[in-house]
Structures are given as structure tokens and as C-alpha cells.
């Protein structure tokens, strides 16, 4: 059974049966009691913080909100990490998977003084303690979780599953850092956490910091036991060794014994980490070690009341949140609370002023060594701008717009390669085994793929110190990247568009984190989280329906407008310009959608910069409404919709040379919203100048069409917007057929114009028939030949199209 040392590694470090001398033991226990006292106080009290008078109903909060169960364990570990940091002068962070244990780290930060430094009104005295208690889970106060408001945290923890991936993200490229990561046994049941154990195959003991996982088995979730606490000890041990770890066990409930045991085990783990580092760094041998980890098995709600109302509480799921709820109304409950609080002997812990007594106040490392003040946990403090090559140097020459065949993301890869080379410890790229598939392979000229497992001859660019992060887990990629960004570095995540939904919920949490930190002065801005969504809906003709979903944009734009940005660059030069902008930005989530297949190029670099700066603009070279009111605005956003729009323009102008078409291309999607709603939003007058106030608008959009309606419903001309986009029609078929199935192809767009422009009403019958026949011909051709018609496959923009000198508003004639 665990609880005795079950470490059977070849050379277990000798363990000292009494690591702590009596004074150390007393001090560490006092610190723990103080943290626990302050935690219970936060959950329950709004007055009488030092219990200097008997506990009365009005001292207890009317609404009791918070989670006690996990908190004493978090505090216990905190106390011991502090001892080790001080003894060894460690650079250490603390990631708390069970982030609902918010009272713990808040208590610790207050004891360490950090809390009063960043929130001076929460001073280290009785008045401050009262405010500390009252503000917790209280209107106008702080959240109940390890939220951004908590100094020392990069991990909110409200949604479980990301502790390990965040911890590894923090450790990459931080060779001196140790990240202690508590994994709750409930959290351990989640998929993202289960996958993240294998992160140790991506760590280089030379280049990277160390993660020390601490699996906290306290047995219960909200209502159920946890799986890992109820499997046989040998199964658990096998599992953790299978994850690549050397597990050390600490089990029990007697504080004195547990302190000794945890101190011993922590020392041996830290010794082992030191050994691993020294070996790798002196020998140059990065071979993956079996990293140590700790399994802490302690009662849920440890040190809390044993029973309440005759039911067991400590050691059961009843400790999960507030162990008993009626401490204000019910005298018995209040007596239990008072007894519980007094069991920590506050009179020994706090002096007359309410400040921690010196033995506790000084029992933490100094300055930035305090985990609550470690600058890695406020990454903006450490953030340096990327050294950026001039993106204009990577420009694709464009002599004639709408021609050529370039894989735009491959061009982006060359820029990223040089960003990678110029920032060799502050930039990584992340992809779920799709870096090369997404045409970003050039980055492998600057670095390798991170890989610290077996390497065989013929393997391509694998090395422990690589900085291209590829694992077939969107969750792990996202978690690593978040951890990397929040500790002050930069990154770039490329993903198949449909499967980025896998991390919808993680995006939510990160966006909420950014929103909240925007209002926290001491939190410094971090680099933006940059997504490249490629292998997108229009070019999943290969994998079919399951790979077609452009809805991540819809998901993203539900979050606060001050933290989200969406870009749809139609070609390589606009992609370069957008990427440069995103890589320089702070505190955003930038979503870039761009195809990886060979595609037409529209804008030379100067035009691309101008276009991206505006975010939306008229493409004069494709328009025929010079100095006149257009008959129709043909708007487009996204590479494939842009191509189909231009092809439709060509079809129309060839047949109706007098038709006045205005082509508007949208790169920055949020320009469509008004400026009251989004900082990038166009003012109504500017929007009207582009889209008119009364002309039909045929809008070809990359994603679900209703998003454009949602963004524009307040605009003057909205009633004339007719949007085409992806309407969940698709299968394994040709690229052009994907457009046809969703009526966003050139013929359908051109027909939409025929249907909506009054001047064409009487003259469009012949053209309508032509377009209809073209679609029938397409269908027949692909079913026989299996590929698109040559004139579609090879279509390029003809510079003759789109120009007209005809007088506007004269009657249009039917083409002959």
C-alpha cells in the first residue's frame, strides 16, 4: 500500500527519518495552521477575524461560497515548497489544478506579504484580515477560485484539466524554473489532464525547467469517489510509471508524521531533479529521465470538522465545498465553526495587531522567490518583444492580381522560420501533428521538433531541444501554449479549422483570463494567443464532412470584444502582414483563417499592407463602379470566397459590361461591427461609404453566413445584405463542388446578383440560364472525371474584367 515508500527505482535516495528538526516542524506546522485558519475565515467570516470575541451570527457571511475540501492540501504543499525554496534558493512556481481551492493561495499570498503589496487595503493586520475574509466570494470582492486576481497564479483552475499542460508550458525554455503542479484526483479523470502526463516526452533537461507533479489523492469529487483513489496501489503505481514518472508516496492524516514524510519526499524529489539537471548539463546528454513525482494521499477537508449533524465530513465528499451551511442561523453549526477555527490556535499565529507573528511572517522566501511574487506567474513582467524580421522581405511578387498559385501558409512558414531563429528561447510553434501538413515546414530549418523519446534513423527533425511542439492533442498544445504565454513568452498555434473546436472551452477560459487581467493593474500584458486555422472548411474535400466546421469564429466573437480579433487574409502578402501584426500584439486572442492549398494571389506587398491597415476596403482593380454609385456590392471575406467573388465579377462584367460592381474585401472581420461594439468596428458613416445605404450586397463569407448578419444587423443597409457561406453541406468531393453545394460558387453568386439588382431584372434571363447550365455541366463533369472542370481549376483573374467606361444607370442590355 502507498504510505510507505514504494519507490523501487534502481537507486532510491536515502531518506532521513527526521528531515525536520523540532523547530522546523513547529514552524512549518504553524504556517500551515495559519494558512488553514485564513482559508476557513475567508469562506465563513465577515467580521471578528481573530475571534477576539465569541462568534456571533453577524460575523458569519449570509451566503457561504467556496471550496474547503482541497484547500488544506494545497496549503500543506505550499508550506513545504516554501521551506525547500528557502533552503535551496529555488526559482519555483505553483500551479494548482484544483483551482477551486482559491482561499489557500490567497491566504499564502497574504502571509507572504505579497497580497498587501498589490492590494494595499488588504493590509497585514486585523483590519486587513477582516477585509481579506469579507472580500472572498463576496460582491465587489474576489472570485472563489485561483483567479487572475490571485498573485502567483497563472491557472484559474475553475475548469479542471489543464494543470499539467500549463505547468509544462511554463517550464519550457526556463531552465532554472521548477513548476510544482498539483493534480487533483478529480481533475485526473479529465481527458486533457490524462493526455498531458506524456508532456515529459517533450522536455529537455538541458534547455527546459522541471515540472514536479503532485497527484493529490483526497478521494472524492463533488459527490463521488475518484477513480485514481480507488484502484489498487499496484495499478496506480504502474500507471504513473507508465506515464514516465518515478512516484513517491506520502499518505496519512497525522500532521506531524505527514510533515516529516512530505519534507523527506520533497527533498528527495528535488535532489533528483538537481541530479538530472547536473547530469544533462554537464554531459550534454538530454536522454529523458524518469522524472520524480509525488502522490499525496490525505483526507479531503483535512483538519476540518470530523462530523457535523452526525454525518462524517472530514475525509468525505461532504467537505468538497462549504462543509456546513448554516453557521449564521444555526447555533450548533456556528459552534462547530468556532471550535474549528480555534483548533488552529489563532492566538499563537497572529499578534496583537493581527499581523502574523514573526515565526510565520518570516517563514517564506524573499522577494521574487516567494511563489506569490514569482515574476514567471505575472509573465508580462518578463515579456520582451520578439525580434521580428521585416515581413515585407517575404513578399510574394504579384504583377497581376488574381493570378499565380502560391501556398500562402508556406510563405508564412518562411517568416515564422526566421522569427524562430531570431528568438531562440522565447518563441515556439504548436500544432497537433500538423505543422508540415499546414505548410509551415520551413520552421524546421531553424529548429527541430521537440522530442525526447526514442529516435530512429529516418526520423525527421526530432530533438529534445526542438521548439516545434507537436503532439496529437489539441488540448495539450493549447495548454502548453497558454502556460508559455502566461509566463511571458510568445507562440503560434496552427490547427485544422474544424478541430480547433476541441479547445473551445480552453479558449473560453483564456479569453476570460485576459478580460479579467485587463482590469488588474499589477498584471502586466502578455503576448497574444495566435491561431492559424488552416486546412479549412472549403478545402476539406479530402477528409469530408467531419472536417468541415468554420464555427470557431462564431465561438470566439461571443467573448469580450477587447480581447478577440479575427482575420481572414485572402492571400500570402495579406497573411504576412496580419501575422506580423498579431505576433507584435498583446492581450488578444488572434484568429487567422487562411488556406494552405495553392491559391491565387491578389495584392502586392504595399497594397497588402494598406489593405490590412484598413482591414476592409474596396478593390478598385476588380470593381467597375468608378466614381459612381454601384449597382451591387460584392463583398468577400476569406480566400475561397474572394476567388469565387472575383470569378463571379468576371462572369457578370463579360455579360453586362455596363454593370457597376463594387468589390469589397474584408480582412479584419471585426471591422463589420460598429465602433460602439468593437474597438476595430467601423463608424456607421465609414461602413455606409463602403457598403452603401441602399444597394444590394452579395456577401461571400468563409464561415456560417448568419455571423455576417449578426455583425451587421444594426447597419443602415443591412436589409440588403445577402450572405453566402458554409451551410453544413459537404462531403468528400472536389474543391469547387464544395462551393457549389453551399451556393457560394461563382455561378451562384452571379445568379444572386441577377436576382437582386433591379437593373438586371429584365435582362438577366439568358445569363441566369447560362449559369444554371454551367452548374449542371460541372456536376456531370465531376461525377465522370472526379475533378473540377479545367476552366474552373485553372481560372485566373483577367485584368480586362472589372473595368468599364460606360455611363452608370443607363439601361443594361441582354448579352448576345
Site residues for a second copy, 130-159, by CB under 8 A, read 134, 137-145, 147, 156, 158-159
In Å, how far are 7, 147, 487, 730, 774 from 426, measured between CA atoms? 36, 25, 10, 41, 53
Is residue 473 part of the contact set for a second copy (CB under 8 A)? yes
Task: Check if the beta carbon of residue 317 is closer than 8 Å to that of residue 236.
Answer: no
End-to-end C-alpha distance for the chain, whole angstroms? 90
Is residue 252 part of the contact set for a second copy (CB under 8 A)? no
* Distance (Å, whole) CA 798 – CA 400: 8
Applying CB under 8 A, which part among 49-57, 197-205, 358-366, 374-382 lies near a second copy? Answer: 197-205
Strands 589-593 and 564-567: parallel
**CA dihedral in degrees (172, 177, 178, 184; nearest 10)?**
-50
In the set 191, 367, 397, 598, which binds a second copy (CB under 8 A)? 191
Give DSSP secondary structure letters for 382-437. Answer: T--------GGGGPPP-SSTTEEEEEHHHHHHHHHHHHHHH-TTTEEEEESS-TTT
Is residue 192 part of the contact set for a second copy (CB under 8 A)? yes
In the set 8, 18, 89, 235, which binds a second copy (CB under 8 A)? 235
- Total residues found in the chain within this entry: 816
Is residue 193 part of the contact set for a second copy (CB under 8 A)? yes
Q: Where does 92-147 have alpha helices with state H? A: 103-111, 114-118, 126-135
* In the complex, least distance from residue 522 CB atom to a second copy, rounded to whole angstroms: 18
Total residues at the site for a second copy (CB under 8 A)?
Answer: 123
* Distance (Å, whole) CA 251 – CA 374: 29
* In the complex, least distance from residue 432 CB atom to a second copy, rounded to whole angstroms: 8
In the set 271, 554, 755, 770, which binds a second copy (CB under 8 A)? 554
* In the complex, least distance from residue 213 CB atom to a second copy, rounded to whole angstroms: 15
Closest CA to 301 of 39, 649, 543: 39
Closer CB to a second copy, residue 390 or residue 791? Answer: 791
* Distance (Å, whole) CA 693 – CA 719: 10
In the set 9, 56, 231, 400, which binds a second copy (CB under 8 A)? 231
Task: Check if the beta carbon of residue 517 is closer than 8 Å to that of residue 562.
Answer: no
Is residue 706 part of the contact set for a second copy (CB under 8 A)? yes
Site residues for a second copy, 708-737, by CB under 8 A, read 709-710, 713, 718, 728, 731-734, 737
Closer CB to a second copy, residue 543 or residue 613? Answer: 543
Closest CA to 715 of 677, 665, 667, 664: 677
In the set 88, 501, 614, 756, which binds a second copy (CB under 8 A)? 501
Closer CB to a second copy, residue 233 or residue 763? Answer: 233
In the set 223, 685, 776, 807, which binds a second copy (CB under 8 A)? 223
Applying CB under 8 A, which part among 172-180, 376-384, 447-455, 588-596 lies near a second copy? Answer: 447-455
In the set 18, 54, 57, 312, which binds a second copy (CB under 8 A)? 312
Strands 598-601 and 403-407: antiparallel
* In the complex, least distance from residue 438 CB atom to a second copy, rounded to whole angstroms: 10
Closest CA to 404 of 571, 591, 581: 571
Site residues for a second copy, 415-444, by CB under 8 A, read 433-437
Closer CB to a second copy, residue 391 or residue 699? Answer: 699
Is residue 508 part of the contact set for a second copy (CB under 8 A)? yes
Applying CB under 8 A, which part among 248-256, 311-319, 648-656, 689-697 lies near a second copy? Answer: 311-319
Task: Check if the beta carbon of residue 544 is closer than 8 Å to that of residue 731.
Answer: yes
Is residue 644 part of the contact set for a second copy (CB under 8 A)? no
Task: Check if the beta carbon of residue 96 is closer than 8 Å to that of residue 105.
Answer: yes
Q: Where does 585-633 have alpha helices with state H? A: 605-614
Site residues for a second copy, 740-799, by CB under 8 A, read 782-783, 785-787
In the set 2, 244, 255, 638, which binds a second copy (CB under 8 A)? 244
Site residues for a second copy, 65-84, by CB under 8 A, read 65
Is residue 447 part of the contact set for a second copy (CB under 8 A)? no
Cell of 800: 480586362
Closer CB to a second copy, residue 246 or residue 580? Answer: 246
Is residue 613 part of the contact set for a second copy (CB under 8 A)? no
Is residue 811 part of the contact set for a second copy (CB under 8 A)? no
* In the complex, least distance from residue 39 CB atom to a second copy, rounded to whole angstroms: 16
Site residues for a second copy, 19-48, by CB under 8 A, read 46
In the set 241, 369, 410, 524, which binds a second copy (CB under 8 A)? 241
Is residue 282 part of the contact set for a second copy (CB under 8 A)? no
Closer CB to a second copy, residue 436 or residue 695? Answer: 436
Cell of 478: 493549447
Closer CB to a second copy, residue 430 or residue 451? Answer: 451
Closer CB to a second copy, residue 317 or residue 795? Answer: 317
Is residue 460 part of the contact set for a second copy (CB under 8 A)? yes
Is residue 201 part of the contact set for a second copy (CB under 8 A)? yes
CA atoms within 13 A on the CB side of 191: 8
Q: Can you state the angle between helices 746-756 and 639-655, rounded to 10 degrees? A: 60
In the set 467, 512, 581, 662, which binds a second copy (CB under 8 A)? 512
Closest CA to 474 of 511, 518, 432: 432
Give DSSP secondary structure letters for 205-257. Answer: TTTS-EEEEEEEE-SB-SSSB-TTTSS-HHHHHHHHHHTTEEEEEEE-S-HHH
In the set 91, 187, 314, 668, which binds a second copy (CB under 8 A)? 187
**CA dihedral in degrees (454, 182, 29, 145; nearest 10)?**
160
Binding mask 559-598 for a second copy (x = CB under 8 A): xx--------------------------------------
* In the complex, least distance from residue 475 CB atom to a second copy, rounded to whole angstroms: 4
Cell of 31: 504556517
146 contact partners, CB below 8 Å, separation of at least 6: 96, 99, 100, 101, 102, 104, 105, 153, 155, 156, 157
* In the complex, least distance from residue 136 CB atom to a second copy, rounded to whole angstroms: 8
In the set 230, 761, 766, 777, which binds a second copy (CB under 8 A)? 230
Applying CB under 8 A, which part among 33-41, 169-177, 493-501, 587-595 lies near a second copy? Answer: 493-501
Amino acid at each position: 500500500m502507498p504510505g510507505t515508500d514504494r519507490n523501487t527505482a534502481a537507486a532510491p535516495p536515502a531518506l532521513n527519518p527526521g528531515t525536520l528538526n523540532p523547530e522546523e516542524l513547529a514552524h512549518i506546522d504553524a504556517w500551515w495552521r495559519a494558512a488553514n485558519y485564513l482559508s476557513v475565515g475567508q469562506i465563513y467570516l465577515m467580521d471578528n477575524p481573530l475571534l477576539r470575541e465569541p462568534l456571533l451570527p453577524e460575523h458569519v457571511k449570509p451566503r457561504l461560497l467556496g471550496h474547503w475540501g482541497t484547500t488544506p492540501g494545497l496549503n500543506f504543499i505550499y508550506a513545504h515548497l516554501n521551506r525547500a525554496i528557502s533552503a535551496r534558493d529555488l526559482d519555483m512556481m505553483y500551479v494548482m489544478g484544483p483551482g477551486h481551492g482559491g482561499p489557500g493561495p490567497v491566504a499564502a499570498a497574504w502571509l507572504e506579504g505579497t497580497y498587501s503589496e498589490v492590494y494595499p487595503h488588504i493590509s497585514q493586520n486585523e483590519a486587513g484580515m477582516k477585509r481579506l475574509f469579507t472580500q472572498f466570494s463576496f460582491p465587489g470582492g474576489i472570485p472563489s477560485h485561483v483567479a487572475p486576481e490571485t498573485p502567483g497564479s497563472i491557472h484559474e483552475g475553475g475548469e479542471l484539466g489543464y494543470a499539467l499542460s500549463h505547468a509544462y508550458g511554463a517550464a519550457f525554455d526556463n531552465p532554472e524554473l521548477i513548476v510544482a503542479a498539483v493534480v487533483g484526483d478529480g481533475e485526473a479523470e479529465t481527458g486533457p489532464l490524462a493526455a498531458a502526463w506524456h508532456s515529459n516526452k517533450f522536455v529537455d533537461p538541458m534547455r527546459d525547467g522541471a515540472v514536479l507533479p503532485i497527484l493529490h489523492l483526497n478521494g472524492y469529487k463533488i459527490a463521488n469517489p475518484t477513480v485514481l483513489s480507488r484502484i489498487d496501489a499496484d495499478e496506480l503505481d504502474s500507471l504513473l510509471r507508465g506515464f514516465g514518472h518515478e512516484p513517491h508516496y506520502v499518505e496519512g492524516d497525522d500532521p506531524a508524521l505527514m510533515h516529516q514524510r512530505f519534507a523527506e519526499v520533497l527533498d528527495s524529489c528535488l535532489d533528483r531533479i538537481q541530479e538530472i539537471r547536473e547530469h544533462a548539463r554537464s554531459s550534454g546528454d538530454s536522454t529523458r529521465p524518469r522524472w520524480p513525482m509525488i502522490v499525496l494521499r490525505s483526507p479531503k477537508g483535512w483538519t476540518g470538522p470530523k462530523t457535523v449533524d452526525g454525518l462524517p465530513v472530514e475525509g468525505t465528499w461532504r467537505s468538497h465545498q462549504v462543509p456546513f451551511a448554516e453557521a449564521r442561523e444555526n447555533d450548533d453549526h456556528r459552534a462547530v465553526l468556532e471550535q474549528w477555527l480555534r483548533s488552529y490556535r489563532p492566538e499563537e499565529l497572529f499578534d496583537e495587531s493581527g499581523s502574523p507573528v514573526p515565526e510565520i511572517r518570516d517563514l517564506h522566501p524573499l522577494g521574487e522567490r516567494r511563489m506569490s511574487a514569482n515574476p514567471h506567474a505575472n509573465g508580462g513582467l518578463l515579456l520582451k518583444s520578439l525580434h521580428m524580421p521585416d515581413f515585407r522581405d517575404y513578399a510574394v511578387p504579384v504583377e497581376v492580381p488574381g493570378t499565380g498559385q502560391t501556398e500562402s501558409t508556406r510563405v508564412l512558414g518562411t517568416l515564422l522560420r526566421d522569427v524562430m531563429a531570431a528568438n531562440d528561447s522565447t518563441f515556439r510553434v504548436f500544432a497537433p501533428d500538423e505543422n508540415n501538413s499546414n505548410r509551415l515546414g520551413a520552421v524546421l530549418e531553424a529548429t527541430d521538433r521537440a522530442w525526447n523519446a526514442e529516435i530512429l534513423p529516418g526520423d525527421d527533425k526530432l530533438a529534445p531541444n526542438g521548439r516545434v511542439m507537436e503532439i496529437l492533442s489539441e488540448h495539450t498544445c493549447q495548454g502548453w501554449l497558454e502556460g508559455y504565454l502566461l509566463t511571458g513568452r510568445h507562440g503560434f498555434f496552427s490547427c485544422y479549422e474544424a478541430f480547433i473546436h476541441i479547445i473551445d472551452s480552453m479558449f473560453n477560459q483564456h479569453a476570460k483570463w485576459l478580460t479579467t487581467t485587463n482590469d488588474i493593474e499589477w498584471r502586466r500584458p502578455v503576448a497574444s494567443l495566435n491561431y492559424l486555422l488552416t486546412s479549412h472548411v472549403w478545402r476539406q474535400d479530402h477528409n469530408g464532412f467531419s472536417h468541415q466546421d468554420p464555427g470557431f469564429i462564431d465561438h470566439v466573437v461571443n467573448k469580450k470584444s477587447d480581447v478577440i480579433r479575427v482575420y481572414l487574409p485572402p492571400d500570402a502578402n495579406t497573411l504576412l502582414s496580419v501575422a506580423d501584426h498579431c505576433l507584435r500584439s498583446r492581450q488578444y486572442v488572434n484568429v487567422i483563417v487562411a488556406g494552405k492549398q495553392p491559391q491565387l494571389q491578389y495584392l502586392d506587398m504595399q497594397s497588402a499592407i494598406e489593405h490590412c491597415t484598413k482591414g476592409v476596403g474596396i478593390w478598385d482593380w476588380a470593381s467597375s463602379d468608378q466614381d459612381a454609385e454601384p449597382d451591387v456590392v460584392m463583398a468577400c471575406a476569406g480566400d475561397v470566397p474572394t476567388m469565387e467573388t472575383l470569378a463571379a465579377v468576371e462572369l457578370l462584367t463579360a455579360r453586362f459590361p455596363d454593370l457597376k460592381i463594387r468589390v469589397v474585401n474584408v480582412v479584419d472581420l471585426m471591422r463589420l461591427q460598429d465602433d460602439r461594439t468593437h474597438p476595430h468596428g467601423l463608424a456607421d458613416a465609414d461602413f455606409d461609404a463602403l457598403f452603401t445605404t441602399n444597394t444590394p450586397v452579395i456577401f461571400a463569407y468563409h464561415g456560417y453566413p448568419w455571423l455576417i448578419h449578426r455583425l451587421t444587423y444594426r447597419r443602415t443597409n443591412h436589409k440588403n445584405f445577402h450572405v453566402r457561406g458554409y451551410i453544413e453541406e459537404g462531403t468528400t468531393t472536389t474543391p469547387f463542388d464544395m462551393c457549389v453545394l453551399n451556393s457560394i460558387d461563382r455561378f451562384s453568386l452571379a445568379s444572386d446578383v441577377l436576382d437582386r439588382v433591379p437593373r438586371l431584372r429584365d435582362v438577366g434571363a439568358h445569363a441566369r440560364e447560362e449559369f444554371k447550365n454551367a452548374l449542371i455541366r460541372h456536376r456531370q463533369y465531376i461525377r465522370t472525371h472526379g475533378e473540377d472542370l479545367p476552366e474552373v481549376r485553372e481560372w485566373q483573374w483577367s485584368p480586362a474584367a472589372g473595368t468599364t467606361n460606360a455611363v452608370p444607370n443607363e439601361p443594361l442590355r441582354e448579352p448576345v
